[in-house]
């Protein structure tokens, strides 16, 4: 297995740093999948994570000026690594004024993702920062649990409001309740509701717009005013919103009534899918 890649463009580096910071907020430990065309950050829906799952994908050629990888074998040309996301995020943050950044898979007594940064320096000699991020190579037999989740047939699909606004509202609601109900309909209405013994609070978002539905049948049967709802753990929603430092290019929320909420975001050219199951 081999992996080495290089970033020389400052904008690409900053974008990659932002992506890793977002992943670090969403998953403490995640899987990095390296394949010839893409990089993925994956959190699979294990019980340990509370059933939350994440699939983040980026095209490697949008970031790296050089990219070489050799997977486990020719048929299975991919590398799956488990790492602590914060390590990668921290390492990339030190590359603020970097001339070049290199990432490679190395073996220093145990497998590491080595991030090598050449810093711009006032003096003639360059400064080099190296981070060895310990990783665990995930064996092939476990790959099946780490595949792209199938997008469920949702009852309602709606564009999200400005995430910062949503986050500040959910933050306040969190003080009152540990569960939250997200409901939306095909008329562009989205509500965030909490219900406790003492009080019910609902925030209404209107005219959000709905993306065109994939399947024709669903759109015909459903009353546009009818809400699809799901009750979720408010902390999971908050964790997701806290990870979005920048407002995405596109943000869609898909609700499967009483089962699941699926957030489908696009940050420029990086796609993020986040699944929060209904609170059981």
Chain residues in the site for other proteins (CB under 8 A): 1-4, 6, 66, 68, 72, 84, 87, 90-91, 94, 99-100, 102, 104-111, 116, 118, 121, 123-134, 136-137, 139-140
70 or 268: CB nearest other proteins: 70
Q: Which of 82, 22, 35, 86 is nearest to 273 (CA)?
A: 22
Q: Which of 158, 81, 151 is nearest to 114 (CA)?
A: 81
95 or 230: CB nearest other proteins: 95
Residue 4 beta carbon to other proteins: minimum distance, rounded to whole angstroms: 6
Residue 123 beta carbon to other proteins: minimum distance, rounded to whole angstroms: 5
26 or 133: CB nearest other proteins: 133
Asked if residues 34 and 79 have their Cβ atoms less than 8 Å apart, the reply is yes
Q: Which of 42, 59, 39, 57 is nearest to 103 (CA)?
A: 39
| Helical pair 234-242 and 163-174, crossing angle rounded to 10 deg | 140
56 or 100: CB nearest other proteins: 100
Tally of residues, the chain: 280
Strands 53-59 and 270-277 come out as: antiparallel
Residue 239 beta carbon to other proteins: minimum distance, rounded to whole angstroms: 21
Q: Which of 239, 240, 235, 241 is nearest to 175 (CA)?
A: 235
Residue 64 beta carbon to other proteins: minimum distance, rounded to whole angstroms: 12
9 or 268: CB nearest other proteins: 9
Residue 105 beta carbon to other proteins: minimum distance, rounded to whole angstroms: 6
Q: Which of 204, 202, 34 is nearest to 103 (CA)?
A: 34
Percent of the chain that is helix, strand, coil (3-state, to 5): 25, 40, 35
Question: Which of helix, strand or coil describes residue 184?
Answer: strand
Backbone angles phi, psi at 12, to 5 degrees: -65, -40
90 or 222: CB nearest other proteins: 90
Residue 91 beta carbon to other proteins: minimum distance, rounded to whole angstroms: 7
71 or 248: CB nearest other proteins: 71
Q: For residue 236, what are its two tokens?
A: 């999971």
Residue 107 beta carbon to other proteins: minimum distance, rounded to whole angstroms: 5
139 or 209: CB nearest other proteins: 139
Residue 224 beta carbon to other proteins: minimum distance, rounded to whole angstroms: 50
Task: Give me the sign of the Cα torsion angle 17, 18, 21, 27.
Answer: negative
Q: Give residue for tokens 């649990």.
A: 145
Residue 66 CB neighbour total at 10 angstroms = 11
């Amino acid at each position: 297995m081999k992996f080495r890649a290089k970033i020389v463009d400052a904008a690409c580096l900053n974008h990659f740093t932002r992506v890793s910071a977002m992943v670090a907020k969403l998953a403490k430990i995640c899987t990095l999948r390296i394949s010839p065309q893409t990089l993925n950050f994956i959190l699979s829906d294990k019980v340990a994570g509370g059933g939350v799952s994440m699939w983040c994908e980026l095209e490697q050629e949008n970031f790296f000026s050089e990219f070489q990888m050799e997977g486990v074998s020719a048929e299975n040309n991919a590398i799956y690594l488990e790492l602590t996301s914060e390590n990668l995020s921290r390492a990339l943050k030190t590359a603020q004024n970097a001339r070049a950044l290199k990432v490679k898979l190395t073996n220093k007594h145990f497998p590491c993702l080595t991030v090598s940064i050449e810093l711009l320096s006032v003096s003639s000699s360059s400064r080099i920062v190296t981070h060895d991020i310990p990783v665990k190579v995930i064996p092939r037999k476990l790959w099946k649990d780490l595949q792209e989740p199938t997008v469920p047939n949702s009852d309602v699909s709606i564009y999200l409001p400005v995430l910062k606004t949503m986050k500040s509202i959910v933050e306040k609601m969190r003080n009152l309740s540990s569960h939250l109900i997200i409901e939306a309909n095909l008329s562009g209405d989205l509500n965030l509701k909490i219900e406790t013994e003492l009080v019910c609070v609902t925030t209404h978002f209107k005219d959000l717009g709905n993306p065109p539905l994939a399947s024709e049948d669903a759109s015909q049967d459903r009353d546009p005013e009818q809400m699809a709802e799901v009750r979720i753990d408010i902390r999971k929603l908050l964790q997701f919103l806290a990870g979005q430092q920048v407002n995405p290019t596109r943000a869609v929320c898909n609700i499967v009534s009483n089962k699941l909420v699926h957030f489908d975001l696009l940050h420029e050219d990086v796609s993020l899918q986040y699944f929060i199951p209904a609170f059981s």
